[in-house]
Structure 1
Amino acid sequence: MLEHLTTEARNPASEHLDSLTPLELVRLINEEDAKCTAAVADQAEQIAKSIEVIAHRLSHGGRLIYIGAGTSGRLGLLDAAECPPTFRSDPSQVVGIIAGGHSAMFKAVEGAEDSQTLAEQDLRNINLSSDDVLVGIATSGRTPYVLGGLDYARSVGAYTIGLACNRDSLLRTRADVSIIPVVGPEVLSGSTRMKAGTATKMVLNMLTTGAMVLLGKTYGNLMVDLNASNSKLLERAKRIVCTLTELAPEQAASLLETCNGEVKTAITSYRLGVTPDEARVILHATNGHLRAALESMGRLAGRSSNGRAANNGHSSNGNH
């Protein structure tokens, strides 16, 4: 059955792989990797639909859950792990599950991907519900563990997204939306950690980044909801506050400290001239959207200013 998968086929461009110089190897791999961008672009509409659903579910208390085996599972775990520091999201909001458990992140657990029932057990353990979105990641589109997970997710009413790199895959029949970037045969036949892995990572980046943007986690292209958990992120937070307030670095650092390291709170507090607690209330009213918070208060201030101007004009006319 594997022989029918494009990701398992031999790549004509690399049939003499072991005869190439290091520079030729690099150029060949780079040329093949360039095909990932077009393959992902071909799935733009499916990815966009997925982002909309994910953002909606997350905004109503649901979760985004990745499930996969091997490289696919590891990429899901990686994307999930990067959300809290990048978007200050709750660690339980985006979850990664890999066949064989977390130890499989570092060492392959033989046979785990062949079990459909194991996926159901893993999803029961995290109380998968109809509020959640499950993304089943399987390059081949036929991994039993992932198919079992998608089947169980649909049985409980969760929204299902299938991500594979082979066009005619069983996964299509198990998901509400299928994202299938077809990258073609790998440079090293069957090594799907290469192009397939790259395309998968690109899609996962889009899913979480897109959903978090819709949830108000950014201002323009600035990471205003980051969790400043180390010196690099603290410096980034300070730089963002400087950019959006025009404060000096030391002033931005002091403001951030006053606001418990919350970038959006610091910016709102300074720009609107309110206390950190008042800034939090304003942000809560706009569901955490910084631009909406700043613009809505700006409109209110504008109306107040216009009202004063009108009153002043009326008084002036009365004096004539």
Structure 2
Amino acid sequence: MNKTPDKETPKNITEASSNFSNLDKMSVIEILDGINKEDGQIHLAVQKAIPEIEKFVSQLINRIKAGGRLFYLGAGTSGRLGVLDASELPPTFGVPSNIVIGLIAGGDKALRNAVESAEDDATKAWDELQQFKINEHDSVLGIAASGTTPYVIGGVKTARENGLLTACITCNPDSPISKEAEYVIEAIVGPEFITGSTRLKAGTAQKMILNMITTSLMIKLGRVKGNKMVNMQLTNKKLVERGTIMIMEELKLDKELSKNLLLEHGSVKKAIEAYKNA
């Protein structure tokens, strides 16, 4: 008698069928519980990737200190996550906007609307990188949940061929992009709640990893003191209030003097240094 072969897990896990059926017949609470249950796998998947993340960040720190930049390449959700992470660093850590740069297939228009076939051009990403006058200290991180996006693969492959440090974040094992990047960060989160909708678990995992990379990078670049964002930009009342409290706690000063110091010097770090050196 022939034995029915065990069902094998597809290599392209991000496109595998959902573990849940008949979503359209579920109640709202069943949908929410199902999504939450699936999200529970993300933490462990990212945790397994930490050794490779650490290797990449350790290389990245010295390259940034030497004048290099980190470029994100992505399409669709992955590209938007890269642009989001890059855009949050200047206000959070007070760094120039050209330290981490997010590029998305289709350009800025693709941040809000899908751009047809933009991700299918394997040469476009490298062409776009050339506009930034790439140097030997620069690094490229390709973000592709499936690991099959031509825009990202082509950019990472050519960047590595030209001597740049390269890495990728993907949610499929042994995907095409993993064969091109030097550091391969794989967060295998399993099939999505809605089959193929990588804005869900895969997107969350990618965002978590980007947070880990740039937060650890900024800390090691001296943009955090203790556990505080002492270089944040003072772009609204909430942040001015937060900065004032930081100075009060550090220097044991009253609120009015602390706020005046902050507004005079433009950052918590500069205000504290100026006071201590006065």
TM-score range, shorter chain: over 0.9
Letter in 1 for 2:128: D
The answer to which of 199-208 and 162-171 deviates more is 162-171
Aligned to 1:318: none
Q: CA offset at residue 4 of structure 1?
A: 4.2
Are 2:130 and 1:124 aligned?
yes
Are 2:242 and 1:236 aligned?
yes
Letter in 1 for 2:45: A
Kindly report which structure 2 residues correspond to 1:60-99, keeping only aligned pairs within 5 A, or say none. Answer: 60-99=66-105
Counterpart contact for 2:262–2:268, Cα < 8 Å = yes
The TM-score with structure 1 as length reference comes to 0.82
Aligned to 2:114: 108
1:95-128 deviation digits (Å, cap 9, x = unpaired): 0000011110010111011111111211111222
Aligned to 2:58: 52
For residue 270 of structure 2, the aligned residue among 248, 258, 265 is 265
Q: CA offset at residue 262 of structure 1?
A: 1.9
Aligned to 1:9: 16
Are 2:203 and 1:197 aligned?
yes
Aligned to 1:222: 228
Where in structure 1 do 4 or more consecutive aligned residues deviate above 3 Å? none
Which has the bigger relative contact order, CA under 8 A and spacing at least 6? 2
Letter in 2 for 1:175: A
* CA distance in structure 2 between the partners assigned to 1:163 and 1:124 by the alignment: 22
* CA distance in structure 2 between the partners assigned to 1:250 and 1:30 by the alignment: 45
Letter in 1 for 2:212: M
Counterpart contact for 1:67–1:98, Cα < 8 Å = yes
SS at match of 2:123: helix
For residue 38 of structure 1, the aligned residue among 40, 44, 52 is 44
Gaps of 5+ in 1: 276-320
1:197-232 deviation digits (Å, cap 9, x = unpaired): 000000000010000000111112111111112222
Kindly report which structure 2 residues correspond to 1:15-30, keeping only aligned pairs within 5 A, or say none. Answer: 15-30=21-36
* CA distance in structure 1 between the partners assigned to 2:43 and 2:186 by the alignment: 13
Higher CA-based Rg: 1
Are 2:224 and 1:208 aligned?
no
State, as a whole percentage, how many aligned pairs show the same letter: 43
SS at match of 1:218: coil
1:240-270 deviation digits (Å, cap 9, x = unpaired): 11221121211111111232x1211111233
The TM-score with structure 2 as length reference comes to 0.94
| Count of residues in correspondence between the two structures | 269
Counterpart contact for 1:128–1:153, Cα < 8 Å = no
* CA distance in structure 1 between the partners assigned to 2:258 and 2:163 by the alignment: 46
Q: CA offset at residue 16 of structure 1?
A: 2.4
SS at match of 2:223: coil
Letter in 1 for 2:139: V
Letter in 2 for 1:203: I
Counterpart contact for 1:129–1:157, Cα < 8 Å = no
**Structure with higher helix content:** 1
* CA distance in structure 1 between the partners assigned to 2:158 and 2:165 by the alignment: 11
* CA distance in structure 2 between the partners assigned to 1:18 and 1:34 by the alignment: 22
Gaps of 5+ in 2: 1-9
1:292-320 deviation digits (Å, cap 9, x = unpaired): xxxxxxxxxxxxxxxxxxxxxxxxxxxxx
| Structure 1 vs Structure 2 CA RMSD | 1.2
Q: CA offset at residue 147 of structure 1?
A: 0.7
SS at match of 1:79: helix
SS at match of 1:29: helix
* CA distance in structure 1 between the partners assigned to 2:264 and 2:115 by the alignment: 47
